[in-house]
Chain A
Amino acid sequence: MEKQAVQRAREAFLAGRSRPLEFRVQQLKSLQRMITDRQGEIATALKQDINRSQYDTPLFELIGLENEISLAVSKLAQWAAPRPVERNLLTISDQAYIQPEPLGVVLIIGAWNYPWALTLQPLVGAIAAGNAAVVKPSELSEYSASLLKALLPRYLDQELYPVVCGGVSETQELLRQRFDHVFYTGNSTVGKLVMEAAARHLTPVTLELGGKSPCYIDKDVDLRVACRRITWGKFVNCGQTCIAPDYILCEPSIQNRVVEGIRQTLLEFYGPDPKSSPDYGRIINQRHFNRLMTLLEGYTATVGGQSDSSQRYIAPTVVKDVPPQARLMQEEIFGPLLPIVTVSDIDDAIHFINEREKPLALYVFSSNKKVIKRMLAETTSGGVTVNDVIMHYTLNSLPFGGVGQSGTGRYHGKHTFDQFSHHRACLVKSLGMEEVNIVRYPPQNRQKARRVRLAMRTPLVDFSWKTYIWAVTATVFAFDFLFSPS
Chain B
Amino acid sequence: DLSEFRDRSKSGSTGQHMTIYEVIDRLRATFRSGVTFPEQFRMTQLQNLLSLVEENEQLIQDALHKDLHKPKFESVLSEIQITLNDLYFAMENLRTWMQPEYNIGKNLATRMDDCFIRREPLGVVLIIGAWNYPLHLILLPLVAAIAAGNCAILKPSEICQATEQLLAELIPKYLSQDCYAVLCGGAEDTKSLLKNKFDHIFYTGSQVVARSILLAAAPHLTPVTLELGGKSPCFIYGHIDIHKAAKRLCWSKFFNTGQSCVAPDYVLCTAQTRDALLPALRETLRTFYGPDPGASLDMGRIVTPRHWRRLMDMLEKSKGKVVIGGESREEDRYIAPTVLVDVQESDALMQEEIFGPILPILTIESLEEGIDYINRQEKPLALYVFSDETSVVTTVLNNTSSGGFCGNDGIVHMALPGLPFGGVGASGMGSYHGRWGFETFSHRRGCMNRSWLLERVNVLRYPPYSDYNLGWLRWATTFKKNSWGGCSVM
Hey, which bits of chain A sit against chain B, CB under 8 A?
Answer: 14, 53-56, 58-59, 63, 66-67, 70-71, 73-74, 85-88, 90-91, 95-96, 98-99, 101, 103-104, 180, 188, 191-193, 195-196, 198-200, 202, 204, 207, 209, 222, 225, 228-229, 232, 268-271, 277-280, 354, 367, 372, 376-378, 380-388, 391-392, 394-401, 403-405, 407-410, 422-431, 434, 437, 440-444, 448-449, 452-453, 456-458, 461-462, 464
Contacts and interface: CB of A to CB of B under 8 A. Distances in A.
Contacts of A269: 462-464
Nearest to B34: A378
Nearest to A388: B450
Contacts of A277: 463-464
Given A202-B214, A403-B122, A408-B223, A428 B393 contact: yes
A67 B479 contact: yes
Contact of B73 (A207, A400, A449): A449
Given A71-B479, A225-B455, A392-B446, A87 B71 contact: no
B241 A400 contact: no
Contact of A200 (B73, B120, B211): B211
B73 A410 contact: no
Interface string B53-82: 000000000000000000111001100010
A338 B466 CA distance: 26
8 contacts: A192-B221, A229-B458, A386-B448, A397-B486, A404-B221, A448-B73, A453-B77, A458-B85
Contacts of A14: 375
B412 interface: yes
Contact of A383 (B110, B240, B446): B446
B88 interface: yes
B448 A452 contact: no
Nearest to A355: B32
Interface string B411-432: 0110110111100111001110
B73 A74 contact: no
Given A191-B221, A387-B450, A59 B470 contact: yes
B401 A456 contact: no
Interface of B: 32, 34, 37, 71-73, 76-77, 81, 84-85, 88-89, 92, 104-107, 109-110, 113-115, 117-118, 120, 122-123, 199, 207, 210-211, 214-215, 217-219, 221, 223, 226, 228, 240-241, 244-245, 247-248, 251, 287-290, 296-299, 375, 388, 393, 397, 401-409, 412-413, 415-416, 418-421, 424-426, 429-431, 443-452, 455, 458, 461-467, 469-470, 473-474, 477-482, 486
A286 B426 CA distance: 43
Which 6 pairs from chain A and chain B are nearest by CB?
A: A199-B214, A398-B446, A85-B418, A55-B465, A428-B407, A427-B413
Contacts of B298: 442-444
A85 B420 CA distance: 10
A354 B32 contact: yes
A462 B92 contact: yes
A202 B207 contact: yes
Contacts of B219: 192, 196
